[in-house]
Structure 1
Amino acid sequence: MKNFDQIDSKYFEVFWVASETLNFTKTAQIIHVTQSAVTQQIKKLETQMETQLFVRAQKNIYLTPAGKKLRFFIENYLDNVDTLIRDIKQSAIALSGKIRYALPESCLLSSHFTKLLNYRQNHFPQLHLQVEICTSEIIYDKVLSCEIDFGFITKKKEIQSIDFIPFCEEQYIWIAKEKSLERLSASEIVEQEMIIYPGMEVLYKKWCESQKKSYPAFSRLKVTGMINHLHGALDMVASGMGITIIPKHCLQNQQKQLSQICKGRKVMNTIYIITLENVKHPKRVEKIIDVFLEMHK
């Protein structure tokens, strides 16, 4: 560990002024202390450095070679402090402003949003969040039109101007009112009455692909309830109106009387953060994306 007691920077001010005035009386007047205090502080600094910093010749004082080296060091030190303070202030300004992003409603029910809010409050309270709840299709359009800085999507599309950053793996499960149904096979699932909500079609297609069999198209499912809100869909399922497919974390974070019902293979999907490709994003945007990515390291 560095020896911080080897030289005490609190004496730098008196030395700096004295090296400019070459007069301890004027130094005392400038920094508003007594002349004896100036003399004492200079002596303490010389003791710490184990060398003489000033010499007296007749009624004048002059810097010794060691004193000149110390003055040069302090000059660089003050320049470095100025640079440091300026950089910190610029960083603070860069990490202020608005962050615009969008995500499916299911992502809002994960822990990521709460973690981001806590991180913002503790580190960058000057950041303003503009968050939109959209389906993946709309999120693509908003990124391409620069309406948002980035977005979370559940379905990857081959678009050359979009940059895809893998975020996390999400598991999809079928749910029903607790104990209202036995655990069903995939073939039995598609015969049930369904609760439909925005984004469910993507989950259903992913589930069908994982089964390696042909199942009815989404448009041919038996629908007994439809709502444009995932929370509402969970309420409908909890009432016994039908079943639906959701990301597993949505069930884990709910207090409703719901249970997983489908037997068979685990259905996983990669969630991506998307941004415009080859675009230099503001530092605040890059930082928040990094914050999200750190959540899964």
Structure 2
Amino acid sequence: MELRHLRYFKALSECLNFTRAAERMHVTQSTLSHQIKQLEESLDRPLFDRIGKRVVLTEAGEIFLEFVTSALAAVDQGIGALKESAGELTGHVRVGATHTFNLQFLPECIATFLEKHPLVRVTVEELPAEEICVKLNSGELDLGIAYRPNNPDNLWFEPLHNEEMILVVSEQHPFANRKRIRFVELHRQQLVLLPEAFSTRAMLDECFRACGAEPLVMAEMNTVAPMLQLVARTQIAAIVTANAIDAGSDLHVVMLEDPTPVRTPGILWNRGAHQQTVHIRSFSSIIRKLALSRRLQAQRQRT
């Protein structure tokens, strides 16, 4: 069975006349008749009853028509989307991102996207994850980039990968020369962490409880950048994701184990927004490709 068989079947089911259906499809009547016969043989049942010069759908044909109509509509929609994406895209992409992804990851995504589609306008709002969810639900954002929320409500979370959290210290810190450290060794160590309202903080608190460690939480900050500035100026450590650290940073990274805290970044969508425009789908495709590239790079570095 091939796509042309379905198109011929659809035309004949609408015309119920071989001559008119053949004219619509720009083929000879014998060609159309032969193609319909091939389709019926492949399905092992008749789709049309021939009564003299009249043609009517069989019960099997009526059932099959519903699915063929949906399938051809989806195919034609896909072809249209490809033709549209081959030209100059225009429009507006509204993105909400948490601070971590707004440092390096998202700017790289935007640069790649605008190089391909310079006529599309991109607006980025740096927001807490909870506010991203609110604005997606209200239709003020097209997509969000954040860690998996605890209560996504009407949102769909598309995971990109899993990433390990790390300990970050200054050059003067006693752990600066360590490559790995067990979670229990953070007992009574000075830390700056996110506030307790954050899901990341809840996960880290659970890690501390699991190993029986009680850190000295010297400060709580709701964004990563000031946390890292505090780490650079003191002997207070922080636990963040690796992509929060700039490549040229003087901060030292220490891997955490037993347990290793893991976060899952991804794309947040509004479940009600079924029809995403071509430029939004194109932008999300770049997000997926860059996330995959970074994951593979991290795997190579570990090996």
TM (normalized to structure 2)?
A: 0.58
C-alpha distance in 2, partners of 1:158/1:201? 12
How does 1:129-148 map onto structure 2 within 5 Å? 129-148=122-141
Secondary structure, aligned partner of 2:160: strand
RMSD across aligned positions (CA): 3.3
Q: For residue 289 of structure 1, what is the amino acid of its counterpart?
A: S
Structure 1 residues without counterparts, runs of 5 or longer? 1-83
SS in 1 for 2:234: coil
Letter in 1 for 2:279: R
Are positions 1:290 and 2:285 aligned together?
yes
Q: Structure 1 residues 235 and 258 mapped into 2: Cα distance closer, same or farther (>3 Å)?
A: farther
Identity %: 16
Kindly indicate whether the alpha-carbon contact (under 8 Å) linking 2:159 and 2:267 is maintained by their aligned counterparts in 1: yes
Deviation at 1:158, TM superposition (A): 4.5
Q: Tell me whether 1:186 sits opposite 2:183 in the alignment.
A: yes
Q: Against the structure 1 CA distance between its residues 201 and 214, is the aligned structure 2 distance closer, same or farther, given a 3 Å change threshold?
A: farther
Q: CA deviation at 1:228?
A: 4.6
Moved more, 286-295 or 244-253: 244-253
CA 1:258–1:200: 2 relative to 1, 3 Å: farther
Show the 5 A alignment for 1:1-297: 92=87, 95-110=89-104, 112-182=105-175, 184-197=181-194, 201-209=198-206, 213=210, 222-251=216-245, 253-260=247-254, 262-279=256-273, 280-295=275-290, 296=292
Distance in structure 2 (CA, Å) of the matches to 1:187 and 1:252:
27
* Cα deviation digits, residues 118-148 of structure 1 (max 9, x gap): 3223211111111111222221111111111
- Separation of aligned partners in 1, 2:183 and 2:137: 37
Task: Look up the equivalent residue of 2:281 and give its one-letter code.
Answer: E
1:167-199 CA-to-partner distances (Å, cap 9, x unmatched) read 122210122213512355423425222224579
* Structure 2 CA distance for partners of 1:187 and 1:135, relative to 1, 3 Å: same
* Residues 90 and 203 (structure 1), Cα distance of their counterparts in 2 relative to 1, 3 Å cut: closer
| CA distance, structure 2, for counterparts of residue 269 and residue 141 of structure 1 | 21
CA change 1:190–1:126 in 2 (3 A) is farther
Alpha carbons of structure 1 residues 89 and 264: separation in structure 2 relative to 1, 3 Å: closer
Largest Rg, 1 or 2: 1
Q: 1:290 Cα deviation (Å)? A: 1.4
Task: Report how far residue 211 of structure 1 moved.
Answer: 6.5
Deviation at 1:99, TM superposition (A): 0.9
Map of 2:72 onto structure 1 = none
Measure the CA separation in 2 of the matches of 1:90 and 1:243: 47
Assess if the C-alpha contact under 8 Å between 2:163 and 2:241 holds in 1. Answer: yes
Aligned partner of residue 249 in structure 1, secondary structure: helix
How high is the TM-score relative to the length of structure 1?
A: 0.59
Q: Distance in 2 between matches of 1:201 and 1:181?
A: 28
Distance 1:263 1:99, change over 3 A: same
* Change in CA separation of 1:201 and 1:156 when aligned onto 2, cut-off 3 Å: closer
Partners of 1:149 and 1:91 in 2: CA distance: 22
1:193-232 alpha-carbon deviations (Å, 9 max, x no partner): 222457994333333445671768xxx9644344454222
Q: 1:90 to 1:169 in 2, by over 3 A?
A: closer
